[in-house]
Structure 1
Amino acid sequence: MAKMFASTCLLISVLSGFLFSCNQQAMQEGGVVEGQTVETTATEGEGMVYDVNLSSLNSEANDGRDVSGTARFEVRDSLLLITVNAEGLEPNTMHLQHLHSFETPADASCPPGMEADTNKDGIIDLIETRQSAGITMIPLHDNPVNMEIKTDTYPTTDNEGKLSYQKTVNLNELSSAYKEKFGMDIDLTRHVIFIHGVGSDASLPASVQSLPDVPAHVTLPVACGAID
């Protein structure tokens, strides 16, 4: 859900490919307008907030745990503040987390239930999410701007399986990197966020698919949320 902090206006400005529209409604400072879908955000002194609820996937493979949590993407001037908080994950483990979407102007969505399990092995693996969610696009690790997927700088859970991630990135740099890699501008509302990873001792069928040279237990999606 996107929330707009703005005064009465209709403003279109370009910030590294981001399109910002102010709502035509007078509001007191700190007020919000709910239920709006926006492509981007922000000018000086104003910002957008995208809140995401995370839903559990593959709980049986995750030792029966249901992952829950939230993510927030807040635009302030030329910065994007990213926050992810989740629980129910494999404890003391680094968990990959990414924004997924398509390399075309199409909206991603989380897997629509077990019908996404096309090979009927009881698991919705990373490759099976591609039909609804597309590919891995923006990594949420120590340096999202470098767009590197394979790295050991993703967040690690505590001994209770809780994950806390906060990162501030420069929108100009992220937009440039995104456009260079995918040939289009960023629209956060086209993406979903996945958190990946179960225990290395998880009993997974041999049919569970993953990225080349990456074990399936590392990439297995355990939570998903749409950025609406």
Structure 2
Amino acid sequence: MSKHYEAKIVSLNAAKIGSNPHGTAEFTEDESTLTIKIEMFDTPANTQHWEHFHGFPEGKVAAIATMAQDANGDGFVDLPETEPVSGTTMVPFDAAPERMSIPNDTYPVSDGDGHFVYEKTVPLDELQQQFKSAFGTTDLQLDKRVVYVHGVPESLELPDTVAGVVGPYDAHVTLPIAVGKIEATD
């Protein structure tokens, strides 16, 4: 029996990034696969957009970040500021989500209008095995997670207070630009 989930994705940091990213995410989980479809509009154009679901390993329900999470008052909600309400980065929506290898260059790139569609069918057993290794459970608990879309052009000036360096990737790559709460639709 399939389980269906979706998220309405709304903008975050829109006043500072010069666009109003929005879209939808759909997830279908059956016995052997997780099918993911994310469609985004009005993202920063011609930019790679990291996207993931975030959550709390112990199963607490994650909430979307809002400008209220701008703890240092710099006008941006950066990746570390999302963690108190949204939890940690869990599963990437890249070329191989089942590998759970977050920092890489295989995420979607928006077109000149800021649009992209990401579609991937993932082997559920491989994803659950990696998820258990990282978080101690095979239960993805999608209805307790939130989707984040990240990424602004290098040309956008960010204050030094914007945090979110992941390996060789700076805050331009990790800055959240949109977020949505995943909800069961069955």
Tell me whether the two structures share a fold, i.e. TM-score over 0.5: yes
Deviation, 1:60, is 2.3
Compare the two structures and name the one with the higher helix fraction. 2
Partner of 2:64: helix, strand, or coil? coil
Q: For residue 173 of structure 2, what is the aligned residue in structure 1? A: 218
Counterpart selection for 2:144 from 167, 190, 199: 190
Question: How many residue pairs are counted as aligned between the two chains?
Answer: 181
Distance in 1 (CA, whole Å) between partners of 2:175 and 2:124 is: 29
Q: For residue 70 of structure 1, what is the aligned residue in structure 2? A: 24
Counterpart selection for 2:49 from 69, 85, 95: 95
Counterpart selection for 2:74 from 100, 121, 124: 121
Partner of 1:174: helix, strand, or coil? helix
CA contact (8 A) 1:61 1:203 kept: no
Q: Provide, for residues 71-120 of structure 1, a one-character-per-residue CA deviation record: whole Å limited to 9, x for no partner.
A: 00012331111000001111111110011011222111101x32200001
Written as runs of structure 1 = structure 2, the 5 A alignment for 1:160-171 is 160-171=113-124
Q: Residues 128 and 156 of structure 1: is their aligned pair in 2 closer, same or farther, counting only changes over 3 Å?
A: same
Q: Provide, for residues 140-171 of structure 1, a one-character-per-residue CA deviation record: whole Å limited to 9, x for no partner.
A: 00000111011110011111110110000111
Counterpart selection for 1:206 from 150, 157, 160: 160
Distance in 2 (CA, whole Å) between partners of 1:198 and 1:116 is: 19
Distance in 1 (CA, whole Å) between partners of 2:96 and 2:115 is: 21
- Stretches of structure 1 that go unaligned for 5 or more consecutive residues are 1-45
1:60 maps to amino acid:
A
Distance in 2 (CA, whole Å) between partners of 1:211 and 1:109 is: 22
CA contact (8 A) 2:16 2:75 kept: no
Written as runs of structure 1 = structure 2, the 5 A alignment for 1:1-228 is 46-63=1-18, 65-111=19-65, 113-185=66-138, 186-212=140-166, 213-228=168-183
- Stretches of structure 2 that go unaligned for 5 or more consecutive residues are none
TM-score for the superposition, normalised by structure 2: 0.93
Task: Supply the RMSD in Å over aligned alpha carbons.
Answer: 1.1
Q: What fraction of aligned residue pairs are identical, expressed as a percent?
A: 37
Name whichever of 207-216 and 122-131 sits farther off.
207-216
Partner of 2:143: helix, strand, or coil? helix
CA contact (8 A) 2:24 2:40 kept: yes
Q: For residue 4 of structure 1, what is the aligned residue in structure 2? A: none
Distance in 2 (CA, whole Å) between partners of 1:61 and 1:95 is: 17
- Per chain length, whose mean CA-contact separation is higher, i.e. which structure has more relative contact order (CA < 8 Å, sep 6+)? 2
1:52 maps to amino acid:
A
Q: List 4+ stretches of structure 1 deviating above 6 A.
A: none
Partner of 1:189: helix, strand, or coil? helix
CA contact (8 A) 1:68 1:87 kept: yes
Partner of 2:173: helix, strand, or coil? helix
Q: Larger radius of gyration, structure 1 or 2?
A: 1
